[in-house]
């Protein structure tokens, strides 16, 4: 990593929405280590990734508010005097968004809009980081996908995440609110939801393989993906937050290399030392919103803040399996 970021966070205040969830809690651990005053807001929605165990080890060093980011009064109180807002709370389930589209819109676009307006009101100098999704681009028209790729979501979740990201950009252009958007790809690692495949197939596979179940691969599993180990994503959030010149920018994250879904399953089995893969028919509700191959152009974030993924896939999967072997009782 090119820059030390500790100075930017030591003694500062940061609010992490969705901070009991996967990425939020990993970020909270890093912030706590840097002696940032961390406040977490999380509603522990059973459909999301929030888990109190995720802050095990830092529970005495962070303030946790059990609340909802849609609640303006709560958010207004929490935002006051914050230096950073890491807005990670939201609906990330593609299939879920097709089943409950209004809730998806509300928690992603409406809540984000409300929060941006509150920032303008109570803490206009705050640094805002929003995590959107590669899903805003839809089916790639070319690879790797850079930030200029046409925006054409293929599911409702992609629309609501995109609207939220665009609200961030408008708030920057019109009101000079210091917002930056990161488009995440498949993120994996310790503290992810592994209860089911609602948010990501990788979490589900982690659980399946540790339970001795075959890994289900939809169809031929040939579609390419890029995976980011969660610590690399946290590092991207910190590097970008610490660099004021990234305000008003959108950045794509991506992995060190692309891998097909089937190869990934095979790699997991290999790293685990045992297990099997099973190819099953593509469920129709997933096939309709499947985006095909996806690879990421990360040259923009690399040029602006020197970020690139540092954990290779094999090591990342190894670390993830170890974490869940040890702590599975907290996540099953």
Among 101, 214, 219, 248, binds its own copies (CB under 8 A): 101
CB 85 within 8 A of CB 127: yes
121 binds its own copies (CB under 8 A): no
Cα distance between residue 208 and residue 87, in whole Å: 30
270 binds its own copies (CB under 8 A): no
Instruction: Using the minimum distance from each CB to its own copies, give the nearer residue, 103 or 271.
Output: 103
Cα distance between residue 129 and residue 165, in whole Å: 10
CB 83 within 8 A of CB 14: yes
Among 41, 166, 233, 241, binds its own copies (CB under 8 A): 166
Instruction: Using the minimum distance from each CB to its own copies, give the nearer residue, 261 or 289.
Output: 289
Element (H, E) at 323: helix 313-327
Instruction: Using the minimum distance from each CB to its own copies, give the nearer residue, 114 or 191.
Output: 114
142 binds its own copies (CB under 8 A): no
Among 56, 121, 148, 245, binds its own copies (CB under 8 A): 148
Q: How far is the CB of 266 from its own copies (least distance, A)?
A: 31
- Token pair 């994250």 is found at 253
Buried b (16+ CB within 10 A) or exposed e, 286-298: eeebebeebbbbb
288 binds its own copies (CB under 8 A): yes
Cα distance between residue 134 and residue 254, in whole Å: 9
Among 152, 270, 280, 303, binds its own copies (CB under 8 A): 152
Cα distance between residue 145 and residue 133, in whole Å: 12
Q: How far is the CB of 153 from its own copies (least distance, A)?
A: 6
248 binds its own copies (CB under 8 A): no
Q: Which stretch binds its own copies (CB under 8 A): 111-119, 180-188, 210-218, 271-279?
A: 111-119
Cα distance between residue 15 and residue 78, in whole Å: 7
Among 18, 50, 96, 153, binds its own copies (CB under 8 A): 153
Closest by CA position to 88, among listed 31, 33, 140, 144: 31
214 binds its own copies (CB under 8 A): no
Among 84, 137, 167, 324, binds its own copies (CB under 8 A): 167
Closest by CA position to 261, among listed 190, 193, 197: 197
- Token pair 């995590």 is found at 131
Instruction: Using the minimum distance from each CB to its own copies, give the nearer residue, 151 or 303.
Output: 151
Cα distance between residue 314 and residue 229, in whole Å: 10
- Tell me the angle at which helices 313-327 and 261-272 cross, rounded to the nearest 10 degrees: 60
Q: Which stretch binds its own copies (CB under 8 A): 22-30, 107-115, 193-201, 324-332?
A: 107-115
Contact residues for its own copies, defined by CB under 8 A: 98, 101-102, 105-106, 109-110, 113-114, 117, 148, 150-156, 158-160, 162-163, 166-167, 169-170, 173-174, 288-289
């Amino acid at each position: 990593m090119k820059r030390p970021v500790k100075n930017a966070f030591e003694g500062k205040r940061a609010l992490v929405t969705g901070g009991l969830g996967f990425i939020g809690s990993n970020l909270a651990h890093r912030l706590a280590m840097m002696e940032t005053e961390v406040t977490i807001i999380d509603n522990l929605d059973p459909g999301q990734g929030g888990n109190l165990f995720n802050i095990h080890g830092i529970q005495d060093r962070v303030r946790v508010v059990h609340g909802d980011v849609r609640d303006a009064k709560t958010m207004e109180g929490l935002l006051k005097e914050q230096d950073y807002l890491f807005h990670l709370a939201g609906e990330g389930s593609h299939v879920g968004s097709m089943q409950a589209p209004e809730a998806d819109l509300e928690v992603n676009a409406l809540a984000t809009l409300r929060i941006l307006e509150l920032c303008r009101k109570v803490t206009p100098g705050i640094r805002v980081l929003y995590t959107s999704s590669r899903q805003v681009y839809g089916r790639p028209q070319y690879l790797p996908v850079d930030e200029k790729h046409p925006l054409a979501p293929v599911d409702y979740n992609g629309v609501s995440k995109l609207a939220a990201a665009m609200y961030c950009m408008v708030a920057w252009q019109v009101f000079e609110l210091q917002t930056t958007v990161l488009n995440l790809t498949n993120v994996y690692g310790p503290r992810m939801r592994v209860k089911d495949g609602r948010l990501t197939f990788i979490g589900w596979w982690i659980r399946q393989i540790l339970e001795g179940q075959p890994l289900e691969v939809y169809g031929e599993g040939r579609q390419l993906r890029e995976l980011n180990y969660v610590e690399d994503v946290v590092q991207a959030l910190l590097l970008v937050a610490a660099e004021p010149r990234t305000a008003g920018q959108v950045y794509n994250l991506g992995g060190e290399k692309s891998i097909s879904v089937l190869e990934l399953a095979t790699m997991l089995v290999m790293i685990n030392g045992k297990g099997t893969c099973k190819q099953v028919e593509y469920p129709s509700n997933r096939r309709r919103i499947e985006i095909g191959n996806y690879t990421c152009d990360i040259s923009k974030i690399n040029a602006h803040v020197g970020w690139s993924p540092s954990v290779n896939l094999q090591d990342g999967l190894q670390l993830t399996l170890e974490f869940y072997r040890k702590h599975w009782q907290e996540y099953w």
